[in-house]
Amino acid sequence: MSNQILETLKSVSTLSLINGKRVESGTTFAVLNRFSHEVIAHVDRTSKEHIQQAVAGARRHLKNVPDGYERSRILRKAGDIITAKKSQFVDIMTLEAGFTQAEAGNEIARGLDTLEIAAEESKRICGEMIPMDGNPGQKDRIAFTIRMPVGIVCAITPFNAPFNALLHKIAPAIAAGNAVILKPSGFTPLTASMICDALLEAGWPPELLSLVHGEGAEAGEYLLDEQDIDFYTFTGSTRVGRIIQQKAGRRRTQLELGSIACTVVCEDADIDMALPRIMRATFRKAGQVCTSIQRLYVARSRIDEFTAKLAQATSALKTGNPQGSDIDVGPMIAEKEAVRAESWVAEAVSMGARLVHGGQRDKSVLAPTILSDVRAGMKVFDLEIFAPVVTLIPFDAITEAVDGINATPYGLATGVFTNDLNTAFYLARNLRVGGLHVNETSSSRNDGMPYGGVKDSGYGVEGPKYAIRDMTDEKVVTFSLRDPVA
């Protein structure tokens, strides 16, 4: 590693943050360089007692939440602080998340947009007037609603977007006037630590921010045991999402869960326009995105042409150490995950699938892989692979693609490439997904739009405006009027 990266690592706190104060619990876990597998940091494993302190401290200091204008100013200043440290954030994410430099840079650009949108929304949180005189005998009453912060928001965030996904949870929570307790993935705790430092430097009250660390489920279970937490926002597996929902009970949740993401290439599609978007949506972050394309439904009349062009473009991708500026696909988050994905590919081939490209693995780096002739019964078809692997599925009628997509247990997002409005509207009406993107892929996203799924992909939405709505309670206020006494 370069001296610059070593200096950056030294500057990042590896301790827990409890009500704005760095504390040490006495035990640690290791954070690895995802490519070399060497240890880059030992991070504090937050104790149950410290988590209890974080919740109790946040509750005591909720009265200290700044007003909307000040919250907006703090979020914008945090963005300025992060911008000044962009290179350090890039260095950390290439190490702990295995992102290429381009992926890390894009993650930061999007996260800064998320901060800016949340800052804007914090100044326009409002309720609405209620037309009371629309009911009989109510002409002398006036009513309106106001939106109040829920209280304490617990954000549990994933490794595959350690910057932007984290900000999609804590920036709206802060904008709405809530205290925040953050639990990042144990794979990527250092990025979270840097973001929390930026928020504190920007002026967010320290008593209203805590950062807890841990591997696996332990810290998460401690957080779910805390009945004084009002709201849980989680991105991760459907299995864990079900546990969170069960233990949350009456408390509200926002869950962004698993997916088998699909994109459709119709007979009239402009393949040359679609191809670079499909490449990015399939292989960025080594395919470890819930909207990464796993199934590509391609019109049978175009399947040969499309397969050849996709294979040619994929063969030009460079894999390896993400610190290299020319690398397109870096390592997966752990070697065991790359081994798992490789075994799924091998199983599919043994069951009759055709390996169009890739399939090879070098430690935690799995080559971008294309499979055809897949079918139900193969793991690459039935389960979320979360790897740089895409399957090609021909179709004759658009109804076949719709039926295939709807048959999955998930419903996050789908893309379609077509120039036919009737086809686009048919998909919009008939697909059971949270989002449809016409002439874009399943991975298309604007950070201001509502983003969420249906079925086993969860419920509730991200996007600052929409998350703020979920992270506030709507309270109705009524006035009964009478004529003034003369």
Active-site position among 154, 290, 384, 440: 290
Q: Is residue 206 part of a domain?
A: yes
Is 266 a residue of the active site? no
3-class SS of residue 32: strand
Q: Is residue 479 part of a domain?
A: no
Q: Is residue 198 part of a domain?
A: yes
Question: Is pLDDT above 90 for 482?
Answer: no
**pTM exceeding 0.75:** yes
Q: For residue range 213-243, list pLDDT tens digits in order.
A: 999 888 999 999 999 999 999 999 999 999 9
**Residue 486, pLDDT score:** 52
Helix (H) or strand (E) holding 232: strand 231-235
Mark whether 110 and 164 lie in a shared domain: yes
Q: Once rounded to an integer, what is the mean pLDDT over residues 410-438?
A: 98
The span from the CA of 102 to the CA of 112, in Å, is: 15
How far is the CA of 115 from the CAs of 79, 82, 120, 175, in angstroms?
A: 7, 10, 9, 9
Question: Is pLDDT above 60 for 289?
Answer: yes
Mark whether 103 and 224 lie in a shared domain: yes
Question: Is pLDDT above 90 for 472?
Answer: yes
Mark whether 279 and 130 lie in a shared domain: no
Mark whether 364 and 443 lie in a shared domain: yes
**CATH code of the domain covering residue 432:** 3.40.309.10
Mark whether 162 and 282 lie in a shared domain: no
Mark whether 269 and 253 lie in a shared domain: no
Is 290 a residue of the active site? yes
Question: Is pLDDT above 70 for 483?
Answer: yes
Report percent pLDDT > 90 for the chain.
Answer: 97
Active-site position among 103, 107, 121, 256: 256
Domain holding 94, by residue range, is: 3-257+460-473
- The tokens describing 71, both together, are 């919250």
Given phi > 0 = left and psi -120 to 50 = alpha, else beta, which region is 293?
beta
Arithmetic mean of pLDDT over the chain: 97
pLDDT-based confidence at 3, cuts 50/70/90? confident
3-class SS of residue 145: strand
Mark whether 17 and 90 lie in a shared domain: yes
Q: For residue range 133-188, list pLDDT tens digits in order.
A: 999 999 999 999 999 999 999 999 999 999 999 999 999 999 999 999 999 999 99
Mark whether 328 and 227 lie in a shared domain: no
Question: Is pLDDT above 80 for 451?
Answer: yes
Inter-residue contact 95 to 12 (CB < 8 Å): no
Mark whether 383 and 252 lie in a shared domain: no
What radius of gyration, in Å, describes the C-alpha atoms of the chain?
24
Number of domains the chain is built from: 2
- The tokens describing 47, both together, are 């104790």
Mark whether 230 and 280 lie in a shared domain: no
Q: For residue range 188-205, list pLDDT tens digits in order.
A: 999 999 999 999 999 999
